[in-house]
Amino acid sequence: MFKYSTMTLILLSLLGPNLCLGAPIVYWNLDMLGFSANSQSFILVESITEDYSDTVDGASARIMIIDVAKNKCLDGGCLSVHDTQDEGKSELPKTEEAQLRAVYSKTWRLRKKRKLTPPKIGYTTEGPFFEENNCKTAYYLFQDQQIGVTLQQNIVPYKYARKASVQLEVSREDISKTIDSIENYRDNAQRYQLGRLFVSPNQKNMAILIHVSYYNSESKSVDVRTLVQTAKLF
């Protein structure tokens, strides 16, 4: 019960993450994701254009190149670019496409070194399947086996914006592991939601997408970005 997917197919299936009720509706646009040819790295690229007022827009793009074994960004692999598009400026505003070209250009050597030009999707699992009235526990199906994931989050309120941490408990048969830490807080994060789970081309690693609601102080809104959590597949 699994398939080896193409980039086009999986991007189309991820355009609208299936969040539980109450989630924000402003999503970043996914442009690229996948494992390296040797299954040691994972990349995710996304962008957004937000309206700050009737005359000002802001285009942003971000890229994450993850060391799968360490579940952390490679040196120089995670960066973002942002541009406020003001109609009063004389120069032409930057678009999402221009911002994407910028992050791709800045990481070209690293992506080539890590065999991410282009990346490979790997295998897509079925799911997430959530328990009734429970957005924090889900399971995925891979090769007719069930992978269970429980999301724990801790939210600390601030006067102007809060911060939140996330920890995943992942289990398969009688084996379980913990990914990330409940003590690892991300500023302005509002809440976390489980997304898709991918298995690397060599079937030894996994990457779990987490949709994170962030408070944007400039636009006074909440947008949904993607966090990648990686580990060995038991």
CB neighbour burial string for 58-79, b if at least 16 within 10 angstroms, e if fewer: bbbbbbbbbbbeebeebeebbe
Q: In 10 A of CB 108, how many CB atoms?
A: 12
Question: Domains of the chain: which residue ranges?
Answer: 3-232
Share of the chain above pLDDT 90, in %: 65
d(CA 33, CA 14): 10
Q: Quote the pLDDT of residue 211.
A: 95
DSSP 46-112: EEEEEE-SSSEEEEEEEEEEEETTTTEEEEEEEEEEEEEEETTSSSPPPPHHHHHHHHHHHTHHHHH
Are the CB atoms for 116 and 41 separated by under 8 Å?
A: yes
Q: Quote the pLDDT of residue 135.
A: 87
Cα 45–chain centre separation? 8
Amino acid 126 reads E
| Confidence label for 22 from pLDDT (cuts 50, 70 and 90) | very low
d(CA 234, CA 34): 20
* pTM, full prediction: 0.85
| Confidence label for 219 from pLDDT (cuts 50, 70 and 90) | low
Q: Quote the pLDDT of residue 138.
A: 97
